Amino acid sequence: MIQLSLDFTPQRMEQVRTDWIRWWEGTREAPLVVCEGYRDGWKESHPDSPKRPNWTFAGKYPLDMPAETVVDDYQQVLEGGYFLGACLPKFYVNIGPGVLAAFLGSDFKFLEGSAWFSPPTVNGVSWEQTPLEKIHLTFDEDHPLWNRVRDLTRAGIERFGNQVIYGLTDIGGNLDILASLVGSQRLAVELHDQPAEVERLCNEIRVFWLDCYNRLHADLDAAGMGSSAWASIWSPGRSYILQSDFAYMISPAMFKRFVMPDLEACCDAMDYPFYHLDGKGQIRHLDQLLSLEKLRGIQWIQGDGAPPAEEWLDLLRRIREGGKLCQVYVTAKGARKIMDALGGKGFVFDITDDMTRDEAERVVEELTRD
């Protein structure tokens, strides 16, 4: 481990982790406020840095680049950032959303700061045309992205130790992964035409998902720094941001059959599971999500072109009155509107304003003042 030059002290690490624990326990009355950005002048001299210090995209580095070299760049970005309120400096191996699809055979490419997964071609035939009954999933232990995630995680832990927290890479949700394997349009049709085969493949994905999660979490657990993923949420135990973005396009009955068993199994495997509720098309599934006793919270993402988070007060009220915690990405002004209407208890406000460090300090102080 090397000593990082961070705008963050060990004492703050302990205090912020305590704040998170109280939030999970329901004993913290104020919201948690996450503010991160770059030290004054740093971004201008590093124009290729990610938008936020905790969001370095690992896919931009060639897969044959030594892990230690990649970690060098992560270190530079972390040391250029500030982390205020409930924000913890994080080493997150960001390969792209739903990377388990690649481990199960999906083709992949990196493009414009993300990863794209598409159906594989086997013996000259794409899985978009292969009969579902002939598709049987296997996990590729030698897949370059699987090895990359684990190598980068180990290199990060060796370099940073207990000075940062660690984020588990984005595995994805069951239907999202299946869509990457057989194609979204094809999956939408097969949910009607071959529901039993879709259910079988979902069950296979669940087995691999849980095994993948357990193995990756064990790698992160070696650091002894609790648990995080891609979102700005930290917990002292096993956690993850569960999702099913494909569920935007399906009925509550399909959600109950194809998604809920997966969510129940994943919640049973964790201490602090959260769900990524992405877009108004998923609101129809909210009652089922609220019925999941072990689901601890819901992240609301309104989607591009939709009104900002503070304009969804009835939805946020349903989440909180349903007994779930809630995280939103919101401006400081939007956070104030939510607090005026619903109070701040149980919320994480991840502030999206582009602010200097001094401005961010004032926002955190105002929003968390007793």
Task: Concatenate the DSSP letters of all residues of 129-178 into one string.
Answer: TS-GGG------TT-HHHHHHHHHHHHHHHHHGGGSEEE------HHHHH
Mean pLDDT on 78-98: 95
pLDDT at 370 over 70: no
Contact between 273 and 299 under an 8 Å Cβ cutoff? The reply is no
pLDDT at 150 over 90: yes
pLDDT of residue 113: 75
Mean pLDDT on 200-227: 97
Residue 115 is given by DSSP the state E
pLDDT of residue 114: 82
Mean pLDDT on 35-52: 91
d(CA 250, CA 252): 7
Band of pLDDT at residue 322, cut at 50, 70 and 90:
very high
Mean pLDDT on 20-40: 96
Structure-model confidence comparison of residues 115 and 86, the more confident one: 86
Contact between 118 and 180 under an 8 Å Cβ cutoff? The reply is yes
Query: pLDDT averaged over the chain?
Result: 96
pLDDT at 97 over 80: yes
**Closest to 241 in 3D by CA, of 249, 223, 229, 252:** 229
- Of the given ranges (56-60, 165-169, 342-346), which has the lowest mean pLDDT? 56-60
Please report the sign of the dihedral spanned by the C-alpha atoms of residue 145, residue 147, residue 148, residue 149.
positive
pLDDT at 17 over 80: yes
**DSSP H or E segment with residue 333:** helix 332-342
Q: What top-level class would CATH report for the domain 10-368?
A: alpha beta
Long-range contacts of 3-6 (CB under 8 A, 24+ apart): 3/163, 4/75, 4/78, 4/79, 4/160, 4/163, 4/164, 5/79, 6/78, 6/79, 6/83, 6/89, 6/163, 6/164
β partners of residue 57: 94
Mean pLDDT on 61-84: 95
Residue 263 Cα distances to 38, 181, 245, 287, angstroms: 36, 20, 13, 14
Per-domain residue ranges of the chain: 10-368
d(CA 244, CA 227): 21
Sheet with 347-351: strands ordered across: 81-85, 32-38, 347-351, 325-330, 297-301, 272-278, 239-243
Residues near 306 by beta carbon (within 8 Å), at least 6 away in sequence: 279, 280
**Percentage of the chain lying above the pLDDT 70 cut:** 100
Mean pLDDT on 321-334: 98
pLDDT of residue 208: 98
CA 304 distance to own-chain centroid: 18
pLDDT of residue 48: 86
Band of pLDDT at residue 369, cut at 50, 70 and 90:
confident
Helix (H), strand (E) counts: the chain: 14, 15
Mean pLDDT on 182-199: 97
